[in-house]
Amino acid sequence: MRKKINCILLIDDDKATNFLHKEIIRETGLVNKVVDMESGHEALEYLEKMEDGKYPQPDIIFLDINMPAMSGWEFLEEYDKLDEEKKAKIVVVMLTTSINPDDKETATSKELINGFFNKPLTFEIIERVIDENF
């Protein structure tokens, strides 16, 4: 039996993509809660806001690279500055439509990033990320 995790945070500026990915995640039955944010700024605010006396700390963050106002790379710069109790528990995964090989190379060179996958998010990607990290 697979381990069920508490929360996944989706950060993507496309509402339709977030909707689709939330449905796929819910269908897996492996996640208690899915939160979606449409910008890096919004996601940082969410991570810094206490709920029931503690920070949300999602188990996994699926992060888009190409977003207006704050790219996935810019989000990571700000995210890295957060106190440890405000960060995701374990895993940050880039989820993108980028075909630029530099993006993949940059992602694999960063300690904060635990994976790099092309959209759309699939049941297999979710299973793999959970199996490899939990």
Residue-wise pLDDT tens digits, 34-68 = 999 999 999 999 999 988 888 999 999 999 999 99
Whole-number Cα distances in Å, 88 to 7, 16, 62, 98: 10, 24, 11, 24
Q: To which residue do tokens 């269908």 refer?
A: 27
Second-level CATH architecture of 13-133 = 3-Layer(aba) Sandwich (3.40)
Residue 87, φ and ψ in degrees, nearest 5: -85, 165
| Nearest C-alpha neighbor of 90 from the set 54, 57, 44 | 57
Residues 6 or more apart in contact with residue 20 via CB below 8 angstroms: 120, 121
Name which residue leads in pLDDT, 98 or 122: 122
Q: What is the reported pTM?
A: 0.92
